Each structure stands twice: as C-alpha cells, then as structure tokens.
Structure 1
Amino acid sequence: MKRLLLALLGVTMFSGSAFGQVNDLKRIKEPTNPKETEVWQPKPKAVTVDAEAGIPSDAIVLFNGEHFNEWVSTKDSSAVKWILNADKSMTVKDKAGDIQTKRNFGDIQLHLEWKSPKDIRGEGQHRGNSGVFLQNRYEVQILDNNDNDTYVNGQVGAIYKQAVPLVKALSKTGDWNVYDIIYHAPKFDESGNKTKSGTITVLHNGVLIQDHVEIKGTTEFIGWPKNEPHGKAPIRLQDHKDNSGVSYRNIWVRELN
C-alpha cells in the first residue's frame, strides 16, 4: 500500500508540474501584431555554390585532384605516398599508410567521393576497405559490400563497431560513391570529463544512412570505445593494408564552428 501511495504521489507531482508549464505559457501575453514575432538580427552570411563543381563558397577544398598540399602521412607527417591519378582522383597505395589533413577541425560538413576497385579482391573486411576518421578518432566505414557479407556494424556506411547504417546505398563495384557527413564534436570539461557526446549524420549517394547518431567514443577494433578528452584534430583517410585500391576525389569541408 505504501508503494502504491508513493507511486500515485509521483504521478500527481509530475502532472502538476506539466500543468504548471502550460499555465505559465497561458500567462504570457500572446503577440497580436505579426511584427512582434519577427527576428531581424543577426543576418546569416551569404554562401554561393559553384554551379559546375558544386562546392560552397565558404568551403575548404582538401583535394581537387591536382596535388596533396592539404595532406601528410599520418605516421610521420612526411609527404603523401598515395597514387595521384590522371582523372583527378587519388588511390590508396598499399602499405603507404594512412594520410591526414594538415589542418585541424571541429564541427564540420564534409563531402567526399570514393570508389572500390573494379577487380574484386578479397572478401569480408578485406575487399575495398578504407575509412574516414573524423578528428582522427571516429570512423565512417568504407567497404565494398556488393555480394560480400560482413558484420553489419562494420559494413559500408557504419560508424565502425558502433552504429549500423539504416540502409545500404552502395554503388556498383568500381563506381563512384558520395558521402556527405555532418559531424558535431564531443565536448569535455576542464577536468577531462565528457559533457556532451558527438554526433554524426551521413548521407550515402544522397540517401540518409546515419541520422544524428550519438558517438559512443573512439573507433576500436578490439574493446569498448574510449573517451579521452581532445580538441580539434585532423580528418584521416585509411590505408587498410590489404591492397584495397580504394580511390578518392572531390573532397571539401565546411567548418561549422
């Protein structure tokens, strides 16, 4: 009986709080002039989009097929050893190692295009495997999953080992794919405690596959995600060390903070 009374009391208190909020709104005088609900400042800045390239005017072009000026080797910050192709793409060179941007980023909108090689090599995680690491820690998976099953939290478009994509929107093997990624970085307090999780939204070939997904922590092959404090950091592209032959082109980023 005592538990029942406590439960009923809790419901009553909750209901009272909810009704109180409604009554508070009713006490606020509703505007009777449309001008009272108009906001004029601050004005959003104007951004134009290049009609041919499709690149916003406030974007930083990270790769346009002409050079590796925005990139270095992750291992030792030396020059990039990947292959620069005549079609203005770059291809992962086996055992050349990951590459990362020279610049550090926080919240971003990232656009990139990628494709697996046409000749099928390997299976599972060893076919057309690469990845996009945001702030050098959180991976959006790249993989050729055409007639190639693997664990679903490691398939193409997964937030690796954390979030299964809503759908598979993969192009045919050897054809170009497009990733558009909206990323908001996690927040940490002065003591290094995470106060807000990061989030990732991914559109694959124009299809929503990750919808404002909460990042649990770092991408780990073995073990649980980790949450060590960090600030802005590079975007990294992965050499999976399996002669994957993944190519990239048309990479640009917009800073959101």
Structure 2
Amino acid sequence: MNATVTSITRRSLLCTLTVASLLTALSARAAEAKRDDTFLEAKDAGADFQVQGEYVGEKLGVQVIALGNERFRAVFHQGGLPGAGWDGQAKIEIDGATADRKTTFATADGKGYSAEITDGTTLTGKTDAGASFTLKKILRESPTAGAKPPVGAVVLFDGSNADAWAGGHTDKRNLLASGSKTKQLFGDFTLHVEFLLPFRPFARGQGRGNSGVYMQDRYEVQVLDSFGLKGLNNECGGIYTKAAPRVNMCFPPLSWQTYDIDFTAARFDDAGKKTKNAIATVKHNGVLIHEQYEIPGPTGGGAPEKPTPGAIQLQGHGNPVFYRNVWIVEKK
C-alpha cells in the first residue's frame, strides 16, 4: 500500500471517529434534554439538591442553581441575597460542576470570581481582586408563612378538604394540587397563598414548576421555579407578561413560598365601559414586588374583563405545584 492510500485511509478513519464522537455527544445531549427528573420532597432529591440553594456571608450572597448531571450556576449578589441586602446592581454568574465530591466554579480564562463547595453547607472562594470569602448555606422562610386567617376571612384551603374548589383535589400530604378554581367569586380582596415548587433540575424556562395565581380568573401572578434567574415578567412574581417584579424573591425549589395580594377590581360605568384598571399590590415571601400596579387588561389565558366578580384560579400547567393555607378577605 503506497503512502497516498495510507494517508487517505487514516483521514477516512479519523473522519469516521470524529463523526461517531459527535453523534454520541448529540445523542447524550438529546437524552438529557428529555430527562424529566421531578422531586417533590427534599429527602428524595439527591446530591445536586444538597448543593443548590442560598449561601450568605459578609456583604455577599450567592444563589446556586442546579442544572442536572452535577452541573450548576452560581449567581453572586453584592451586599447580600435578593430582598436581604443585595444592592440591586449587576450580578456575576459562573458555571460549575461537581467532581470528586467537590463543586467548583471558575471562569473559562481563570480570571474573576472563583468558588467551591465541599460539604453542601459552606461556599468558599476569591473575588476578582483576590479577596477570600466564606459563605454559609441558609434556608430562608417567608415571614408570612403559616399566617392565620383573620376574623371574617374566607378559608379556601386549610388541608382538611378541597370543597371550596371546582375540580380541587389533594395529595397524600393533604396539599392542594394546582389546576382548580374557587366556586365562590370575588370582587375586591386581600389574598394569602402558600405554594411549593418541585425540584426539576433538567427542566428549563416555563417547564420548571409552572403554575399561577389568577385574580378574578383574569389576571395572573406567575408561579414558576425562577430561583436565581433575572426576574422577568413571565417569571415567578411577574404579573404575567405585564410587569416584572421589583426583585426576584423566588426561593429554591421545595421551599414553601408566599404571595400576599391586595387586589382592587376594575371599575365600569353603567354602560359597561371600563373606567379604571384593576390594581394589585403583591408581596412575595414578605417583600414588596408590585405596589399599586394598574393592570391594563387580562393576562394570557385570563377571562375577559367584566363588571362582575371572578374566581381565584390556581393554574394547572402540567407541573406538580402544590398549595396550602389559602385564605381571602373580601373588601366591602
């Protein structure tokens, strides 16, 4: 066999191996994209769940997002965590991965912030200036979690039954599943809702624990696992596609979270013409995210505006999102 033939054979073999490697990689990515690992309780959620979460130290907070297959993203907040010291300025995001029981975060060029987590409770690292830091993992709780309904409130769900809900059903934990709306209709009100998002590390965007709280079945406050994300108007706390929250207060998945909503319905004249927009003030986990926001019209999937009361809907979106301690006070 001459040198030319040998060279062609080698190039052909190399090409075949390259294509095979590429196909294998694409196949692996496709298989990963189809993964639907969904966890409803922390005890079952695995090692990645133990790493993800919130870490805080002196004038610095970090949110670690699990992305599946021992991959993560760390989001650095100067001053502290969102709603607890963050200065609201630009965030620093660094990807990382776990190997040999250590999760490491570093930029591709080795410059900038770096960090590592070795025990699931402590994050250590250095800033871009070389200053060392040590952060401890915390589990935040909403200050209004477990809030008792005041005198005169209508208790919509307390764990005993789902009778107040059309199509409502509970699971073995006596939690209300998403995908139902109240039988009773409401005008102006204050509403307290507590919700639990699943841990779905391979899911992305709107597939990551999607639900929503609809006021009057017309205006949605989005419910979504947006932990560590930008806080857009279609993410958790957003008045869906209308207004982004002032700050992304989404806790990590499998943490109980709260919405406290003060709602004033749209007003109409005798001819049925709208004269005032509906108004909503919303607190997410006790932090103000919308103040007296005028909602210009129904959000996506919402019922048409009318001078009539409407239901509270806990949107079902194919995701196992659950609710507890739901009550409402009508404003007379």
- Could you state the TM-score of these two structures normalised by the residue count of structure 1? 0.68
C-alpha distance 227-193 of structure 1, shift in aligned 2 (>3 A):
farther
Question: 2:166 is paired with a residue of what secondary structure?
Answer: strand
2:312 matches 1:235: yes
Q: Which amino acid counterpart does residue 213 of structure 2 have in structure 1?
A: V
| Deviation of 1:172 (Å) | 1.4
| Deviation of 1:103 (Å) | 0.5
Quote the Cα distance in structure 1 between the aligned partners of 2:304 and 2:226: 30
2:244 matches 1:157: no
**Of 121, 128, 151, which residue of structure 1 is paired with 2:209?**
128
Quote the Cα distance in structure 2 between the aligned partners of 1:197 and 1:239: 26
| Deviation of 1:83 (Å) | 3.3
- Could you state the TM-score of these two structures normalised by the residue count of structure 2? 0.53
Contact 2:251 2:257 in 1 (8 A): yes
Output aligned runs, 1:1-257, within 5 Å.
54-73=148-167, 80=168, 82-86=169-173, 88-92=174-178, 98-147=179-228, 152-220=232-300, 228-241=305-318, 244-257=319-332
C-alpha distance 142-181 of structure 1, shift in aligned 2 (>3 A):
same
Quote the Cα distance in structure 2 between the aligned partners of 1:119 and 1:195: 43
Quote the Cα distance in structure 1 between the aligned partners of 2:294 and 2:147: 31
Q: Which amino acid counterpart does residue 83 of structure 1 have in structure 2?
A: T
Question: 2:206 is paired with a residue of what secondary structure?
Answer: helix
Quote the Cα distance in structure 2 between the aligned partners of 1:229 and 1:238: 20
C-alpha distance 129-210 of structure 1, shift in aligned 2 (>3 A):
same
| Deviation of 1:220 (Å) | 2.2
**Count, aligned residues:** 187
**Match in the other structure for 2:78:** none
More strand by share: 2
Quote the Cα distance in structure 1 between the aligned partners of 2:304 and 2:180: 23
Query: What runs of 5+ residues in structure 1 fail to find an aligned partner?
Result: 1-51, 74-79, 93-97
| Deviation of 1:91 (Å) | 2.7
Contact 2:162 2:176 in 1 (8 A): no
Query: What runs of 5+ residues in structure 2 fail to find an aligned partner?
Result: 1-145
Contact 2:228 2:250 in 1 (8 A): no
C-alpha distance 168-147 of structure 1, shift in aligned 2 (>3 A):
closer
Quote the Cα distance in structure 1 between the aligned partners of 2:223 and 2:216: 17
Quote the Cα distance in structure 1 between the aligned partners of 2:154 and 2:303: 30
| Deviation of 1:110 (Å) | 0.2
Quote the Cα distance in structure 1 between the aligned partners of 2:304 and 2:315: 21
| Deviation of 1:85 (Å) | 3.2
Quote the Cα distance in structure 2 between the aligned partners of 1:234 and 1:227: 13
Quote the Cα distance in structure 1 between the aligned partners of 2:223 and 2:166: 20
Contact 1:101 1:236 in 2 (8 A): yes
**Match in the other structure for 1:48:** none
C-alpha distance 84-127 of structure 1, shift in aligned 2 (>3 A):
same
C-alpha distance 112-85 of structure 1, shift in aligned 2 (>3 A):
farther
| Deviation of 1:121 (Å) | 4.9
Contact 1:65 1:85 in 2 (8 A): no
Sequence identity, in percent? Answer: 40
Contact 2:242 2:295 in 1 (8 A): yes
RMSD of aligned Cα (Å)? 2.0
Question: 1:169 is paired with a residue of what secondary structure?
Answer: coil
Question: 2:237 is paired with a residue of what secondary structure?
Answer: coil
Q: Deviations over 1:147-179 (max 9, x none)?
A: 5568x1101000001011000111111100011
Q: Deviations over 1:177-220 (max 9, x none)?
A: 01100000001112221011110000011100011100111112
Q: Which amino acid counterpart does residue 60 of structure 1 have in structure 2?
A: V
Quote the Cα distance in structure 2 between the aligned partners of 1:120 and 1:247: 18
Q: Which has the higher contact order (CA 8 A, sep 6+)?
A: 1
Q: Which amino acid counterpart does residue 58 of structure 1 have in structure 2?
A: G
Quote the Cα distance in structure 1 between the aligned partners of 2:331 and 2:247: 27
